[in-house]
Structure 1
Amino acid sequence: MTAAVSSAAACCGSSGWQAPEQLLYGRQTKAIDIFSLGCILYFCMTKGRHPFGEPLERDLNISNGKIDLRLVDCIPEADDLLSRMLAHDLTMRPTAQEVLLHPLFWTDEWRLQFLKETSDRIESAHEKSNLVVAIEEIHLTARHKRWDKKLGAAFISNVKSGPRRYNFHSICDLIRVIRNYSIHYNQLPINIQKLLGPLPSGFYGYFASRFPNLLMEIHKIVYQYHREEEWYENFVERMRRANGRF
């Protein structure tokens, strides 16, 4: 560790858990608490591992922005939130409110509800809108460009037999399938219900296990372009009240 880092780090806080601007310049901001919380959250999720390595190397790694989140990269929601909370640039870190309302902490019921309401918003959007264009550019898998290839033959057969025609290359249509099948779940054949699992967790898990980054990629786009729209604000407010997050 350099003398500059050692000197600044001595101001306050525990070694290995301080933000880079605190270590390097002794700066005290709200963002340093978000950084420290990110370290703690990673520690809890990984049963005692640290995103900046072993104790003796942490301060130097933090100062140099040398981070390792590989243990959570299989959880897109965690990877997204932690990478932002632990950003070297303090202006890139979320606020406490944004952390609290991040999809990582949503229940399966609210994750499914978000996809359904996003699908309704897509239906009213122009095909050249920022929302539609950005969603259609999402890459769900490296192997398949058609989302039907990731779903069971029995399910796709049922999709094809329905009155609506879906484009298997369209991410917007995938979201619409999720929306329509969840809304009309009770009218589905028993074998399809068993395949998808019970609402909400089994059903959501069926799609999330096949497209693990779908929710997070869509949320990034919606948050970028539509977080100030009434439908999204209403969604967040209902979720906050339902979970007691005021």
Structure 2
Amino acid sequence: MYEEKANIELQRWQRKIEKSGSLSKKYTKIIQNKVNEKIPEKVHEVFTTSVKNMVHATLVGAEYTTTTIPVEGATLEEREVRLEQKVKAYKKTAAVEGAGTGAGGILLGMVDFPLLLSIKMKFLFEAASLYGYDVKDYRERLYILYLFQLAFSSDEKKKEVLKKIKDWEEIKRNLPDKETYLQQIDWKEFQLEYRDHIDLIKLLQVIPGFGAIVGAFANYHFLEVLGETAKNSYRMRVLGGGS
């Protein structure tokens, strides 16, 4: 019965992603694209390198892979009860971090970017393990990166990534080797999608006297979205595919 309920929720989640984005979101994306075109390429390179280094360190960092052990022999319901506990804990952690850096203005607001990214990635590593997947396998770490993109990208990019998630077992069989798989990632696109997705709310976070409230709310919301994305994406694999 639980799996039937989970499958219904999964289909509903997929339909939500596959629906066309609202006009306001499309208009916002057009504006963001125009602004990005005005930014010098060297500035983009700095952002891209920063994101690449942070994500690369997370994906290959032993501090995450050595502390996560795949959960074996549990039912889907048992796994997801534990996942919900993790989501609640990480939402609180992210909210406290966002409030602290938001209260500090621009300088601490800049610190929030790598801290929040680290919290999000650590959560995804733990989520993978709860569903029984071994994050020591580089292919599972690449899947985690796709989940990150699925949660924090434009509507069109989400549709593209969802297709990869649906076809993951086939993609997994044809991946490049461990030494070269990170070279296949378009880091500039990754950082632009992520930055544009969180841009407006993070700008509000650096406003003195207002940033703490925005920072706490934003980070709490981001972890909530990431939790929903992880749950349904791993459900897709456990239950045998999507619609």
TM-score (norm 1): 0.26
Whose helix fraction is larger, Structure 1's or Structure 2's? 2
* Greater relative CO, 1 or 2 (CA 8 Å, sep 6+): 2
Greater Cα radius of gyration, structure 1 or 2 = 1
TM-score (norm 2): 0.27
